[in-house]
Amino acid sequence: MKINYTFAALLTALFLFTGCDSKSEIDQNLIANTKNNTPYVKKFVSKTFKLITTDGKIIELTSTEEGLDFKDYKGKKAILLDFFATWCPPCIKGLPVLKELREKYKDDFEIVSVLFEKEEDKPTSEIIEFIEKYGITYPITVGEENFKLAKDLDDVQRIPELFLFSKDGEFVKKFLGETDLETYEKYLKMAIGKK
C-alpha cells in the first residue's frame, strides 16, 4: 500500500496547529509555580503517655521536639528508658550493669524499663517474679501505652533499645544491644551535667 507522504505531512501539521490553538484556555492550577513550591515538612505533634508500673503507679511523659518531658523527674533526674523483654538474653545480661549504674548515680538518675511484651503473653505476676529474681529496684512499666511510646520513639523494633534523656528532658543518646558501664557513664555524665 502506497502512502501519500504529502497527505500524511498535511494531516500531521493540521493536528499540531489545532493542539496549539492560541484561543484554548490553560488551567493555571496545573502549571507548576516555583514561587509557591515549598518543601513538605512533617509537623511535630506532642503526645502524652501514661505508663503504668507493675505496682500500679503512673509515669507520665510528654514528647517534645527535643526529647521527652517526664512529669515527676523533670529538672531532677536524667532518665534512661530501657525497652526490654523477659525472654531476651542480652536484656538479662545487661541487668547488672544497669543496676550498678542506677546505684552509683541514684541522686541524679532513674531507669524506667518499658516491657516490650503483650500482657496476654506475660501477665504482671510473672513480671513481678522476674523483678524479684533479678533484684530490680527501678520501675518497670506494662501495658499498651508501652507500645504506643515505642512507636513514637523511632518505632522501636529491636531489644534491648535504650534512650537517655537529660534532666531537662532533652534526648542525649540511643543505645542498642549490650552496652558497658563506661559507655553509659560517659553519656550519663553529660545528661546530668557532671564532667
Nine cell digits for residue 159: 531489644
- Please give the pLDDT value at position 158: 87
Region of 56 (left: φ > 0; alpha: ψ -120 to 50; beta: rest) is left
Taking a C-beta distance cutoff of 8 angstroms, is the pair 19, 106 a contact?
Answer: no
Reading phi first (left if > 0) and then psi (alpha if -120 to 50, else beta), residue 161 is in beta
- Note whether 112 and 81 are within 8 A (CB): yes
Residue with cell string 503512673: 58
In order along its 195 residues, the chain shows pLDDT tens digits of 455 555 555 555 544 444 444 445 655 554 545 555 555 556 778 999 999 999 999 999 999 999 999 999 999 999 999 999 999 999 999 999 999 999 999 999 999 999 998 766 788 889 999 999 999 999 999 999 999 999 998 888 889 999 999 999 999 999 999 999 999 999 999 999 865
Strands 48-53 and 58-63: antiparallel
CB 146 within 8 A of CB 52: no
Residues whose CB falls within 8 Å of the CB of residue 44, separated by 6 or more in sequence, listed in order: 65
pTM: 0.76
pLDDT of residue 20: 46
- C-beta neighbour count of 146 within 10 angstroms: 23
Per-residue CA distances from 33 to 29, 36, 40 (Å): 9, 6, 15
Q: Do residues 176 and 153 touch, judged by C-beta distance below 8 A? A: no
Domains of the chain: 48-192 (3.40.30.10)
